[in-house]
Structure 1
């Protein structure tokens, strides 16, 4: 596909969606950012692992936010694979391959003059009278039990205090007071965690910018993880490759760091050394916010950002997402597909047909691999491909292997393959005692005595492929290829 409008920020992305029927709606009805906004979008289009009823639907803009003047909230921009394809100008079924090619052809960001930076059209300094994050940034809560308003799509940008390498990632950010934000780090999973630990060892704060409301290419690129993007690799290079143009940064006003130049909002601050806060200190619910597996995360003692300033565009648009929504699956899952595609294709070129991270795993836990066996010696390589997938993405829990005649984007077709091409005693391979992800509630010693620590799981491979020497007995019924144009009225 080829779009007419070039997307380079949130506003141009929304303008593109406005031209495509069924991809964007907006409302002027007043909405409470505390739980109501997310509650509405749950029914409109959140999808993912959100509790039913929910569905895949359009992105949505709320133009009337209770308690805030001249502020809007956009949600669900990436909560549809079709919409991601539209925004990245790529075939939705080939997004993993598309991102893999971007990783191979990085384009580094550039820094532009602050006079040309749209993100600094309006400036609020934290030492000014009346400064209050809670009144400046219309961050919604997902549920009534959330620890507080969460910035769910904040692009956190910081640099290694030793060598100056920079990186961008998304973290769980809870507004705690008029000038403090808590920041959750998944242990060992993000480059910024390494930067923070280095700064803390030096007894120094870590300058950090949080850019909100940016080009969707940046949001997706920021979700890559090692080994595809090792320490020292700046994921903004991938976003540049996706647009064939460097991401534009600009200098922050109060800290020695950069931010996204055309972001809707930028929060400037410092991660304080050896200071933590309980996420739910203002609510005492014991809960943080809904996370991608579909459960509400436990409130933790986490590091604190001391805010120095908030800058934004005129009439800014806050961007948010629902934690377990299809939007998370897009951001986490498509980079996962790209990482696995790269690892397997490098090891055994030509056999891998496609990779898909389905909504049930919300981008991290489940992968479907479409593998083609062309000769007898390919038998068994499909299981080797699954092992490579676990190496490419450590948080992966389950891999389904299917043949080239199975539609990996249709879970009914995948389950059909499992029903007719799988025997549990022969085709299920279990790998116990492997580190996975701490947010999986079944990965705890309390759930199973075989688990030694939180976040350890039994990874599993479900080989639903036909043995090569039996392929002739598993040929699907062939139907006539029709003239789709002739019958378009009926099959659209």
Structure 2
């Protein structure tokens, strides 16, 4: 058995001990149809984003854990960072590749189900939105190897429940897993793969990194986030290595030359997505902990679904920008813009043309990013009202907005061309001009704010 500090349950134990207000246990019976999704969205409406454990799911004894990645404070704690410095901490750590450690046995090897015993319908897979075609495994990390190089990868792909041993899968990100399957299919072979359910948030975060050398393993990036070798164990399909501390492992293959309807599914865009590569995963074996937890990511525009994407994109764009623009201060990808489509860049402008350089770099770094706003460093990029104030008062549309048509974008972006999946990308320079006597911004000093809070506190007004 492995040490659990790199596991989902190790994370839950840390939250309960150090942030008890950020974990919510629901003991009331809850349906797997729609109710878990509704609870998390209602918490978000109330401005709360705790980890949620549904302990009593109707029809199963397996608890469901969700919203593990919806809270910047908790994710920052995992990296020993402050919440506002999370993208920088992520950027620095994920470039420190640490070789993995292979242990003899995974924690998921307590129970092994094979052949007719495999029945994925017995897992508490939520039906999340009424538009969804079926229940979906949303926290399934697909692990597979490149059939040509042998280098493996891990990442999220939505998994539609189609039967006891059959899942629909979409590889629409068209990144490594899509290419691995294409290469296997070109050889007339299915792609051996394992679905891993129940991992630590740092695995979740590291698996979202896209810009890294082809010879590097995602697990080495995740090890960099942990600051120590990531512990893996070999499962029973093609000796694929998977996280040793995971809860459940489903072993099987993504079929070659087989396509079946998959979707619609409530995607991170806030819309039902009908676009899919329509691939099929067949399960041959299930391994799990004796007391397994089922991890689910609430889909749609939940923070659980989007926040990690915000942080990883912030870190990757920041990394690209600082190679040539050291005066860039920070990057923010807001949750409410689907954690993908808008990036806001803060910089200390020292020469005209730098904002456009930053915009072009950001648009070229991240496939999903299609709008970039650059602001001066006096603007709080985490406050959309402040950003929109800069746009409203500093942008001269005829010179500060530029468009780049025909750029490759995300297949599930509802504005992308349905045949080519291209969009027109846009940059907005919301910085004040350097060589003009531009209007001076009104400010209130920190000392004045402190005194104001004291006066209000004495009058009985508190935050």
Q: Is TM-score (shorter-chain normalized) higher than 0.5?
A: yes
- Displacement after TM superposition at 1:111 (Å): 1.3
Tell me the residue number matched to 2:152. Answer: 166
Tell me the residue number matched to 1:12. Answer: 10
**Does structure 1 conserve the Cα–Cα contact (< 8 Å) formed by 2:68 and 2:304?**
yes
Tell me the residue number matched to 2:320. Answer: 343
1:457 is aligned to 2:423: yes
1:242 is aligned to 2:225: yes
**Does structure 1 conserve the Cα–Cα contact (< 8 Å) formed by 2:172 and 2:277?**
no
Tell me the residue number matched to 1:76. Answer: 67
Return the match for 2:298 from 322, 325, 336: 322
Tell me the residue number matched to 2:49. Answer: 57
1:110 is aligned to 2:101: yes
- Displacement after TM superposition at 1:481 (Å): 1.7
Return the match for 2:405 from 429, 432, 456: 432
CA RMSD of aligned residues (A): 2.3
Tell me the residue number matched to 1:32. Answer: 31
SS of the residue aligned with 2:257?
strand
- Displacement after TM superposition at 1:425 (Å): 2.5
Tell me the residue number matched to 1:309. Answer: 285
Q: Give ranges in structure 2 of 5+ residues lacking alignment.
A: none
Quote the Cα distance in structure 1 between the aligned partners of 2:277 and 2:149.
29
How many pairs are equivalent?
454
**Does structure 2 conserve the Cα–Cα contact (< 8 Å) formed by 1:156 and 1:208?**
yes
Describe the shift of the 1:483–1:440 C-alpha distance in structure 2 as closer, same or farther (beyond 3 A).
Answer: closer
Q: Give ranges in structure 1 of 5+ residues lacking alignment.
A: 1-5, 46-52, 280-286, 446-452
1:370 is aligned to 2:346: yes
**Does structure 2 conserve the Cα–Cα contact (< 8 Å) formed by 1:167 and 1:233?**
no
- Displacement after TM superposition at 1:140 (Å): 0.8
**Does structure 2 conserve the Cα–Cα contact (< 8 Å) formed by 1:421 and 1:466?**
yes
SS of the residue aligned with 2:89?
helix
SS of the residue aligned with 1:463?
strand
- Displacement after TM superposition at 1:403 (Å): 0.7
TM-score (structure 1 length as normaliser): 0.87
Describe the shift of the 1:154–1:472 C-alpha distance in structure 2 as closer, same or farther (beyond 3 A).
Answer: same
Describe the shift of the 1:13–1:484 C-alpha distance in structure 2 as closer, same or farther (beyond 3 A).
Answer: farther
1:124 is aligned to 2:113: yes
Return the match for 2:186 from 190, 201, 204: 201
Once the two structures are superposed, the pairs formed by residues 260-279 of structure 1 within 5 Å of their partners are 260-279=243-262
Describe the shift of the 1:150–1:111 C-alpha distance in structure 2 as closer, same or farther (beyond 3 A).
Answer: same
**How big is each residue's C-alpha offset from its partner over 1:303-337, in whole Å with a ceiling of 9 and x where there is no partner?**
11111111111221111122221122222121111
Once the two structures are superposed, the pairs formed by residues 273-422 of structure 1 within 5 Å of their partners are 273-279=256-262, 287-298=263-274, 300=276, 302-323=278-299, 324-349=301-326, 351-373=327-349, 375=350, 378-422=351-395
Tell me the residue number matched to 2:131. Answer: 145
- Displacement after TM superposition at 1:232 (Å): 3.3
Describe the shift of the 1:360–1:247 C-alpha distance in structure 2 as closer, same or farther (beyond 3 A).
Answer: same
**How big is each residue's C-alpha offset from its partner over 1:274-297, in whole Å with a ceiling of 9 and x where there is no partner?**
112212xxxxxxx42110110011
